[in-house]
C-alpha cells in the first residue's frame, strides 16, 4: 500500500529541505518505498480535517490504509520497523540506534529549534544579542558532546541508521550559522549523509515542490 | 537480569519527582520489573565514566548486562517492548501509542522545558516578563490542543500506555504555574495517572532518595 504524507505547500525555508517532511521522504527513499504527498497551506494545517490527523496542526502526517500517524520520529520508527535498512537487526544495536533517534529529537533538536525560533521571531528585540549568545552556547555545548562521541566514526553507532537520518536533519537546521563547521567531523558527517542517493532523491522531491508552487504564485 | 538506572543524588526539584528518572522508575513499576539505582552528583554526571553511558552527561541511563541506553523516551520504549502493559499489542494501536510518546517529548515538552529554564535562569533579566508571556502563550496553545484531543477520554488513545506515562510527566513539569488547571480535563488526566499504584511506588522511591540525601547533608 502506497502511504501518503503531508508537506508544506510553500515551505518557509525556500526549498532548503529543513521542514520535517524531508525526514520522512528520506526514510522512504532509503527503504525504496514509493509514497504520495498531499500539500497543505498554513491555513489547511489548522483546519479540523488536518487536526484529525495531527491534533497539533503540523506536518508531516503519514497515512497508510486505516493507520494515521504524526510526529516525524514516530513515522520514521514505523518505517524502520517495517523495512530493512534503517535499524540494525541485533537487539542491543537496535535499542542503541533508537536511543540515538531520541537523542537527536530530545537532546540536540530542542536548543537548535529554540535558536531558529529566536533568530526568526526576536531579531528586533532589545535583548536579542544577549539571548542569542545564551542559545549559541547551549547549541555549541551539545555539538561539542556530539562531536566527541562521533570521533572519527562515519555514523553514530555502527552502520548508517534512522538515528543518523534524524541527527543530520537536526544539524542541517543550523544552516549558514557556521556552528556545525566549528566541528569538522560533524560537517563531514552531514556531507556524508547528504551524499547518499536516497537523500538526494528526497531533497530533489521537496525542492521540486518549492519550485513549482513558487513559480505558479 | 535486574537493570540499573542512574538518578540525581540531590534532585533540584526537592523530591517533587520532576527529574527524568521518575519516568523510568514509573515504567519499571508498571511492568513489575525490580531495578537498582546508582545516584550521581552533578560532578559525576560530567565525568568520562558517566559520559561513556551518556555522551551528553545527563540522567537517567539504563544498564542491563551488556546493554547501556540513555534518553528516557528510548529507555521506556525498550521496557515497553520487552514487557506487557505499556503498549497495545494490535499493530496500528501500538504505532499510534508510539506517535503519542514522540508527541509528548517533541511537541509538548520543548516549550514546557523552555519555560522552566527561563523561570529558573532569567528571572533577573529586564526582558523576563516579556519573554515569559511569549512562552506561556506557546505552552497554553499546546495544552489547548492536547485538551481538545483528550476530550472526555481517560487516556490519549484507548488504554493507558507509555504515551500517557510520558505526557503526564511532561505536564507535571508545569507544577504550580496553574497552566494545566486551566484545562480541567488535563488536571483530571494528571490526577488519574498519579493515582496509579505504580506511579505511587515510583514517586515514593524518588522521594526517599531526596529525604535521605538531604537529611544526611
pLDDT digits (tens, 9 = 90+) for B143-159: 999 999 999 999 999 99
Contact call for B56 and A103, based on CB within 8 A: yes
Contact call for A110 and B110, based on CB within 8 A: yes
Kindly tell me if the per-residue pLDDT of B88 is higher than 70. Answer: yes
- ipTM tops the 0.85 cut: yes
What number is the average pLDDT over the span B85-107? 97
Contact call for B106 and A109, based on CB within 8 A: yes
What number is the average pLDDT over the span A169-181? 95
Residue percentage of chain B with pLDDT more than 70: 99
Which one of A46, A55, A61, A108 would you mutate to disrupt binding with B, by most B Cβ within 10 Å of its Cβ? A55
Contact call for B55 and A125, based on CB within 8 A: no
Residue percentage of chain A with pLDDT more than 70: 99
Band (B131; pLDDT cuts 50, 70, 90): confident
Q: What is the pLDDT of residue B136?
A: 96
Which one of A47, A90, A99, A166 would you mutate to disrupt binding with B, by most B Cβ within 10 Å of its Cβ? A99
Kindly tell me if the per-residue pLDDT of B15 is higher than 80. Answer: yes
Residue of B nearest to A65 (CA): B92
Kindly tell me if the per-residue pLDDT of B110 is higher than 80. Answer: yes
**Short-list A169, A177, A124, A212, CA closest to A26:** A169
What number is the average pLDDT over the span B109-113? 96
Q: What is the pLDDT of residue B127?
A: 84
The burial of B123, by beta-carbon neighbours within 10 Å (0-12 exposed, 13-18 middle, 19 or more buried), is given as exposed
Q: What is the pLDDT of residue A141?
A: 98
Which one of B23, B65, B79, B95 would you mutate to disrupt binding with A, by most A Cβ within 10 Å of its Cβ? B95
Domain B4-85+198-216 sits in CATH at 3.40.30.10
DSSP state of A140: H
Contact call for A126 and B125, based on CB within 8 A: no
SS3 B5: strand
Q: What is the pLDDT of residue A176?
A: 84
Q: Which of A51, A102, A113 sits opposite B74 (nearest CB)?
A: A102
Which one of A102, A115, A143 would you mutate to disrupt binding with B, by most B Cβ within 10 Å of its Cβ? A102
Kindly tell me if the per-residue pLDDT of B217 is higher than 60. Answer: no
A103 contacts chain B (CB < 8 A): yes
Contact call for A74 and B99, based on CB within 8 A: yes
Q: What is the pLDDT of residue B216?
A: 56
SS3 B13: coil
Band (B213; pLDDT cuts 50, 70, 90): confident
Domain A91-196 sits in CATH at 1.20.1050.10
Contact call for A69 and B114, based on CB within 8 A: no
Residue spans per domain, chain A: 4-85+198-216, 91-196
> What rounded mean pLDDT belongs to chain B?
95
Chain pair A-B, CB pairs under 8 angstroms: 108
Q: Using one digit for the tens of pLDDT, what is the confidence trace for A40-87?
A: 999 999 999 999 999 999 999 999 999 999 999 999 999 999 999 999
Contact call for A70 and B114, based on CB within 8 A: no
What number is the average pLDDT over the span B183-197? 98
Kindly tell me if the per-residue pLDDT of A216 is higher than 70. Answer: no
- Cβ(A181)–Cβ(A139) below 8 Å: no
Which one of A54, A59, A65, A110 would you mutate to disrupt binding with B, by most B Cβ within 10 Å of its Cβ? A110
A123 contacts chain B (CB < 8 A): no
The alpha carbon of residue B12 is apart from the nearest alpha carbon of chain A, in Å, by 19
The residues with which B6 forms a beta bridge, in sequence order, are: B38
Judging contacts by C-beta atoms under 8 Å, the chain B residues touching residue A116 are none
Q: What is the pLDDT of residue A126?
A: 84
Band (B11; pLDDT cuts 50, 70, 90): confident
Contact call for A74 and B114, based on CB within 8 A: no
Q: Using one digit for the tens of pLDDT, what is the confidence trace for B38-79?
A: 999 999 999 999 999 999 999 999 999 999 999 999 999 999
A74 contacts chain B (CB < 8 A): yes
Contact call for B103 and A78, based on CB within 8 A: no
- Cβ(A156)–Cβ(A150) below 8 Å: yes
Judging contacts by C-beta atoms under 8 Å, the chain B residues touching residue A114 are 110, 114
Residue A187 to residue A174: CA distance in whole angstroms: 11
A136 contacts chain B (CB < 8 A): no
Kindly tell me if the per-residue pLDDT of A20 is higher than 90. Answer: yes
Kindly tell me if the per-residue pLDDT of B190 is higher than 60. Answer: yes
The length of chain B, given as a count of residues: 217
Residue A115 to residue A106: CA distance in whole angstroms: 15
Q: Order of strands, edge to edge, in the sheet holding B61-64?
A: B36-40, B4-8, B61-64, B67-70
> What rounded mean pLDDT belongs to chain A?
95
What number is the average pLDDT over the span B156-164? 97
Q: Using one digit for the tens of pLDDT, what is the confidence trace for A108-146?
A: 999 999 999 988 888 998 889 988 999 999 999 999 999
Kindly tell me if the per-residue pLDDT of A89 is higher than 80. Answer: yes
Q: Report pTM.
A: 0.97
Band (B1; pLDDT cuts 50, 70, 90): confident
Contact call for B107 and A56, based on CB within 8 A: yes
Residue B142 to residue B138: CA distance in whole angstroms: 6
Strand A36-40 relative to strand A67-70: parallel, antiparallel, unpaired?
A: unpaired
What are the strands, taking DSSP E only, across chain A?
4-8, 36-40, 61-64, 67-70
Task: Quickly list H helices, chain B.
Answer: 21-31, 42-45, 48-51, 72-82, 91-102, 109-121, 128-150, 162-172, 184-194, 197-216
B126 contacts chain A (CB < 8 A): yes
Amino acid at each position: 500500500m502506497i502511504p501518503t504524507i503531508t508537506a508544506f505547500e510553500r515551505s518557509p525555508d525556500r526549498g532548503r529541505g529543513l521542514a520535517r517532511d524531508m525526514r520522512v521522504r528520506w526514510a522512504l527513499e532509503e527503504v525504496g518505498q514509493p509514497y504520495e504527498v498531499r500539500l497543505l497551506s498554513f491555513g489547511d494545517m489548522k483546519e479540523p480535517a488536518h487536526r484529525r490527523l495531527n491534533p497539533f496542526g503540523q506536518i508531516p502526517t503519514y497515512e497508510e490504509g486505516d493507520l494515521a500517524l504524526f510526529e516525524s520520529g514516530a513515522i520514521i520508527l514505523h518505517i524502520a520497523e517495517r523495512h530493512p535498512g534503517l535499524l540494525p537487526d541485533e537487539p542491543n544495536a537496535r535499542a542503541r540506534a533508537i536511543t540515538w533517534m531520541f537523542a537527536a529529537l530530545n537532546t540536540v533538536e530542542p536548543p537548535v529549534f529554540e535558536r531558529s525560533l529566536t533568530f526568526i521571531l526576536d531579531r528586533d528585540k532589545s535583548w536579542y544579542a544577549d539571548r542569542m549568545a545564551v542559545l549559541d552556547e547551549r547549541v555549541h555545548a551539545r555539538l561539542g558532546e556530539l562531536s566527541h562521541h562521533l570521533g572519527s566514526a562515519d555514523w553514530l553507532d555502527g552502520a548508517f541508521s534512522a538515528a543518523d537520518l534524524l541527527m543530520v536533519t537536526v544539524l542541517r537546521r543550523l544552516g549558514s550559522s557556521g556552528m556545525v563547521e566549528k566541528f569538522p567531523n560533524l560537517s563531514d558527517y552531514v556531507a556524508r549523509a547528504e551524499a547518499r542517493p536516497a537523500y538526494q532523491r528526497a531533497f530533489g522531491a521537496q525542492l521540486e515542490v518549492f519550485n513549482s508552487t513558487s513559480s505558479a504564485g
